[in-house]
Structure 1
Amino acid sequence: MRSIPFTVAAAVGALLLLSACSDSGGGGTSSSSSSSSGGSSSGDDAGKDSAAKESPLHAYMKSIQYDGGDSAKNHKEVENIIASCMKEAGFEYTPKDLPSQPASLDDWEEMDPVERAEKYGYGWAGSPESEIDPEEFVSPDADYLAAMSDSEAAAYSVALFGDQQDVDTSELDWTKGGCYAKANHEVHSNRNAAYEDPAYEDLQEEIRRMFEKVPDDPRLAEINAEWSACMNEGGFDFARVNEAYESIAEGYATLPETADETAWADLRDKEVATAIADAKCQEKVGYPEKLQEVQFALEQEFIDTHKAELDAWIEQYATDEAAK
């Protein structure tokens, strides 16, 4: 089974952080933010205006929303803490610069949906992450590490990353994760506190379930039918928007890793073709705008129903930094 595609990973992150325009549709072209942000149709300006609107839940909870802050500053803080920690452990560690990213990684959400589908499919066939060449990076400590004996290298690795190889990932303990985990905890823990508080786990689960309900909302039935008719014209047989993405996800989930390259190539070709048709039909029928309309309505209903719980969460964790 292949790893989760960039589109889904990004969507999950957006959902957990209560992003303004969550990916409620599951696939990259189903996002109310990304799908309505490009194209050359006559409704393009309207789509951009729609995507620019702040969602009710995002607006309501922005005071406890953490978007990662200044990534360069955070990275530098982490690296300096690692260096100090490793020095205490008796090792050298040179703080590393933040790796450069391809422009497309930052522009993912801003790309025209059809262009994105043509280039990446749904995210398995390709992704901005795949454009990062790991061989371009050379550790400033390469010579220092190469001169180590096997036992010294093992001790260095334990100091840096800890020794939890045999522990289930759900049971990882940052205090046993070496200097790397220590540094990341110091830099990021306070910013994530609101989302790690067990008192609000049930509320966050309710939020997740609310977003999951968006694509199945009865108010999308008519536009799903219009999208389905459009897809049928291109030779695809799907009743609902999510089915296009899910069919490809199922393909990757069931294709053995041992399958030959021809099988993988055929599936990637199928992914790209499906994603392109999906993006074009969503744009044609105005699905992103309708999806956003329904999502915003459900968010407001959620706020009205859970106002007391949300207010308690906000009161406990609101910060001026997060509200900016």
Structure 2
Amino acid sequence: MSTHRKRYANVAGAFALAVVLASCTANDPEPTPTGAPSGTTAGELSELPPVEALQAEIIGVVDDYAWARVENDRFEAAVAACMQEAGFEYTPEEFVADDEESDTDSLEWARTNGYGITTYEDPEGGEDEESEPTANDLYVEGLSDEELDAYWIAFEGEATEGEDEGEGEIDLGDLDLDELDEDGDGEIDLGDLDLGDDEELELDEDEIELGDEEFELDEGDLGLDGSGYGGCQGVAYDALAENPLPYDAPEHLEVLTLLDEMYAELAVDESIAAAEESWITCMDDKGYPDLATTDDAQYIVFDAYDAAWEQVPEDAEDIDPELLAPVTELEIKVATADYECRESAGLEAASTQAQHAAEAAFVTEHREALVAFFEDMGAALKS
């Protein structure tokens, strides 16, 4: 298992950006910068949602991981430059995409696996996958203890002097919570704690919940910047913030905000609402009444799953398969009914039709701003 864990920016965003940034027609790591993408016919473009079709016309087909890959590469390059300035070797880590998964959003999959709540099986059996050591792993292994400490300080940042010396810290192991709960109501009165001159309570734990109060360590006490990372990681995140990719650039904020608002309005589209009412009636007929939205079906399974876990002894390492079996049976029945009702209610067709209509109107009104955005996206992919 690699000891040098890859860290890169999370580019998962709102549904609007997911639609804009990923193409569903191919996985081409080198999208065409202008014109229709190679291998994509005019007919195929016409079947795409209008916003995605406009993107394809301008920058070509973009695979699902394009932007995670770009941000990772920028981040790793900045880390490498910073570490080299600090006197260490650092090889930028390559982006590794998740393994391709089968279509889990279908009736066929639901009939066998439900929603994947209780039926999911870790392909690695819950164990970390063994992998070849990276160049950074090998470099770190060759450092002395003193050099290793300096390496990680440069990479992750250094705690402040007060934290290193343990000044003002409270070891939770030294606290008698029963004594602090003077009235016996099960909650700790914070007035019983000495918070010090700055009225701040510093804890060894990153986060601890006491009654209804929650405390978090101040990032400044850990040598972190506003991104939550210190050292060269913090420098890299700051570099990304100073030179953002188009979807984070202020000049495109207005059109992307409007795009998000347009997608939010789809949730109350009359045709989708009518299809969802048909779905609710269908689920009621199948023995699942009192559902308000399509999301509620899964909560039937989650509630049963939680109830099963409540029967698990505290010292047990995992849930008894006999407790899980009826939940799995319920999950497959509910999921199968759910997807059968989605099909009979025409929910997907209604959603697709509403999306295409809303996007067509949006492209007509905001075409110039969208084109500018996509052109910048194409340039970023080529940089």
TM range (shorter): 0.5 to 0.7
Alignment CA distance shift 1:15-1:181 (3 Å): farther
Aligned equivalent of 1:244? 297
Question: Any idea what SS the aligned residue of 2:133 has?
Answer: coil
Deviation for aligned residue 1:77: 6.7
Partners of 2:379 and 2:120 in 1: how far apart? 29
Q: Look up the match of 1:135.
A: 129
Shift of 1:235: 2.2
Of 102, 107, 110, 1:114 maps to 107
Distance change (3 Å), C-alpha of 1:119 and 1:86: farther
Asked whether the 8 Å contact 2:15–2:263 carries over to 1, the reply is no
| Match among 338, 354, 357 for residue 297 of structure 1 | 357
- Structure 1 unaligned segments of length 5 or more: list them: 1-8, 23-32, 34-48
Per the normalisation by structure 2, the TM-score is: 0.52
- The equivalent of 2:66 in structure 1 is 69
Cα distance, 1:314–1:76 mapped onto 2, change above 3 Å: closer
Number of residues paired by the alignment? 280
CA shift, 1:93, in A, is 3.2
| Structure 2 residue matching 1:318: 3-state secondary structure | helix
Letter in 2 for 1:69: A
Distance 1:83 1:21 in 2: 29
- Are 1:315 and 2:372 an aligned pair? yes
Residue 285 (structure 1) aligns with: 345
Post-superposition Cα deviations, 1:52-95, rounded to whole Å, max 9, x if no partner, equal 82212333456589765387787567556544432332233344
Bigger shift: 84-93 or 282-291? 84-93
Distance change in 2, residues 1:59/1:246 (3 Å): farther
Q: Does 1:86 align with 2:83?
A: yes
- Distance in 2 between residues matched to 1:146 and 1:299, nearest whole Å: 53
Map 1:240-279 → 2, pairs under 5 A? 240-245=293-298, 260=312, 262=319, 265=324, 271=331, 273-279=333-339
Shift of residue 288, structure 1, vs aligned partner: 0.9
Structure 1 residues 202 and 214: alpha-carbon distance in aligned structure 2, compared to 1, 3 A threshold: same
- Which amino acid in 1 is paired with 2:219? V
Determine the structure 1 residue equivalent to 2:151: 156
Query: How far apart are 1:152 and its partner, in Å?
Result: 4.7
Query: 1:174 touches 1:182 (CA, 8 Å); kept in 2?
Result: no
User: Partners of 1:314 and 1:271 in 2: how far apart?
Assistant: 45
**Where does residue 16 of structure 2 map in the other structure?**
15
Specify which structure has the higher proportion of helix: 1
SS in 1 for 2:219: coil
Higher RCO (Cα < 8 Å, 6 or more apart): 1
CA contact (8 A) 1:227 1:282 kept: yes
State the SS of the aligned residue for 2:20: coil
Q: Tell me the TM-score normalised to structure 1 length.
A: 0.59
Distance change in 2, residues 1:196/1:159 (3 Å): same
Tell me how far 1:195 sits from its aligned partner: 2.1
Q: Using the alignment, how far apart are the partners of 2:332 and 2:279 within structure 1?
A: 18
How far, CA to CA, are the matches of 1:245 and 1:322 in structure 2? 41
1:55 equivalent among 49, 60, 73: 49
Q: CA RMSD in A?
A: 5.1
3-state SS of paired residue (1:236) = coil
The percentage of aligned residue pairs carrying the same residue is 24
Say whether the 8 Å CA contact 2:14–2:260 is kept in structure 1.
Answer: no
Matched residues in 1 for 2:112 and 2:145: separation? 43
Q: State yes or no: 1:197 paired with 2:190.
A: no
